[in-house]
């Protein structure tokens, strides 16, 4: 990869692409919230609304060969990674045509085709997995990066520190992306961390890090490109802290009582989609007609995804115990 790839080339096409990706996630999740109220989607549903610039920005820096490990708040990551919206929506419904065959639901989206390793609902549980995936790449001499997303709440878990140490100790090709949205459920960062500077944890292991405005998709892309580039050069793991905010409650069960409404409103003004749209329209990089067209296309895509999920079959109960273990003689995906 050349040094030039380190920079963001904000052409008309790329600007539209970034806007499209963020808007797809936003509209998809708005639809999910609606479907939740209509009982089509059940269980936990953690919306990413407000944080779209993070997944979209970071994914620009990854190639198809790279791997992604995410959390339960991963619809955005899955879509930005390129999983078909139909499959993701069907997974939300729990249908057999879903990305995990409906088995995982909202929190456990997996896709071998996209090297998307979940969908982990244990806070910090994905970090050791990412370390292992990167270890396998390093031991087999493959030039791939594993990108691991998690919230700032993970920084209080032991697995976070264990995994960061291992990655740094063994100089593994991992990009750790901490999406710092200031709250872990209802617990504000200052209520859980003696040192609220999350990056300090990376510094302990001698890991280079950067803080980036997670509401600015171009800034995230640029920072991710710098970090991924360094990881790919064999410099060992990097840590990226994105400063972001979720506009919705933690999950659909959360009455959102722990933060002032004004705070949410302030952040909404800095929303990644409004801000980026204003900017690309202002600089005339994109024409308002393009934005309108894009919204229409997305509405169609979502309509089709919902129809697909509605029509998709349920997994027959007879298959309940299929794939608890691997059938003898089956190919092992790796």
Quick one: what does residue 280 bind among other proteins, ligand TPP, Mg ion, none, with the CB cut-off 5 to 8 Å set by partner type?
A: none
Span of 19-27, 118-126, 234-242, 286-294 interacting with ligand TPP by CB under 6 A:
118-126
Q: How many CB atoms lie within 10 A of CB 44?
A: 16
CB 116 within 8 A of CB 109: yes
Interface with ligand TPP (CB under 6 A), residue total 14
Which residue, 144 or 250, is less far from ligand TPP as judged by CB? 250
Residue 203 interacts with ligand TPP (CB under 6 A): yes or no: no
- Output b/e per residue, 49-78; b: 16+ Cβ within 10 A: bbbbbbbbbbbbbbeeebbbbbbbbbbbbb
Say which residue the tokens 């504000």 belong to. 188
H or E stretch at 261: helix 261-269
Interface with Mg ion (CB under 5 A), residue from 76, 94, 151, 271: 151
CB of 88 to other proteins, least distance (A): 13
Burial label for 93, CB within 10 Å (0-12, 13-18, 19+), is buried
Task: Determine the 3-state secondary structure of 273 from DSSP.
Answer: helix
Number of residues that make up the chain: 334
Q: In this structure, is the dihedral angle defined by the CA atoms of residues 188, 152, 51 and 117, taken in order, positive or negative? A: negative
Residue 118 interacts with ligand TPP (CB under 6 A): yes or no: no
Quick one: what does residue 322 bind among Mg ion, ligand TPP, other proteins, none, with the CB cut-off 5 to 8 Å set by partner type?
A: other proteins
Residue 106 interacts with Mg ion (CB under 5 A): yes or no: no
Quick one: what does residue 50 bind among other proteins, ligand TPP, Mg ion, none, with the CB cut-off 5 to 8 Å set by partner type?
A: none
- One-character DSSP codes across 96-135: TTSTTTTSSGGG---BTTTTEEEEE-STTTHHHHHHHHHH
| Position of minimal CB gap to ligand TPP | 151
How far apart, in whole angstroms, are the C-alpha atoms of residue 318 and residue 325? 16
Interface with other proteins (CB under 8 A), residue from 28, 48, 72, 110: 110
How far apart, in whole angstroms, are the C-alpha atoms of residue 187 and residue 129? 26
Residue 189 interacts with other proteins (CB under 8 A): yes or no: no
Span of 120-128, 130-138, 164-172, 235-243 interacting with ligand TPP by CB under 6 A:
120-128
Query: According to CB under 8 A, which residues from 273 to 332 bind other proteins?
Result: 322-326, 330, 332
Interface with other proteins (CB under 8 A), residue total 48
CB of 68 to other proteins, least distance (A): 12
Query: According to CB under 6 A, which residues from 210 to 239 bind ligand TPP?
Result: none
Binding footprint of ligand TPP on the chain (CB under 6 A): 73, 121-123, 150-154, 181, 183-185, 250
Binding footprint of Mg ion on the chain (CB under 5 A): 151-153, 181, 184
């Amino acid at each position: 990869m050349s040094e030039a790839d380190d920079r963001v080339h904000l052409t008309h096409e790329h600007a539209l692409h970034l806007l499209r990706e963020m808007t797809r996630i936003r509209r998809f999740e708005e639809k999910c919230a609606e479907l939740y109220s209509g009982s089509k989607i059940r269980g936990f549903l953690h919306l990413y609304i407000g944080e779209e610039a993070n997944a979209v920005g970071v994914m620009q820096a990854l190639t198809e060969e790279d791997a992604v490990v995410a959390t339960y708040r991963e619809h955005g990551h899955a879509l930005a990674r390129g999983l078909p919206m139909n499959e993701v929506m069907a997974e939300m419904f729990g249908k057999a045509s879903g990305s995990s065959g409906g088995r995982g639901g909202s929190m456990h989206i997996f896709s071998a085709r996209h090297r998307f390793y979940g969908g982990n609902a244990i806070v910090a549980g994905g970090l050791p997995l990412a370390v292992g995936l990167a270890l396998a790449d390093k031991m087999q001499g493959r030039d791939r990066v594993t990108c691991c997303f998690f919230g700032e709440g993970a920084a209080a878990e032991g697995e976070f520190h264990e995994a960061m140490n291992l990655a740094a100790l063994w100089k593994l090709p991992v990009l750790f992306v901490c999406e710092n949205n200031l709250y872990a459920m209802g617990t504000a960062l200052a209520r859980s961390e003696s040192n609220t500077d999350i990056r300090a944890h990376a510094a302990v292991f001698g890991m280079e890090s950067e803080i980036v405005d997670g509401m600015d998709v171009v800034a995230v892309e640029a920072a991710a490109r710098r970090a991924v580039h360094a990881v790919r050069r064999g410099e060992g793991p990097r840590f990226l802290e994105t400063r972001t905010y979720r506009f919705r409650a933690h999950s659909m069960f959360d009455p959102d009582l722990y933060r002032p409404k004004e705070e949410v409103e302030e952040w909404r003004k800095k929303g990644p989609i409004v801000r980026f749209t204003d900017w690309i329209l202002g600089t005339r990089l994109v024409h308002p007609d393009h934005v309108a067209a894009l919204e229409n296309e997305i509405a169609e895509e979502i309509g089709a995804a919902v129809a697909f999920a509605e029509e998709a079959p349920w997994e027959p109960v007879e298959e309940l115990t299929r794939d608890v273990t691997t059938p003898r003689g089956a190919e092992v995906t790796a």
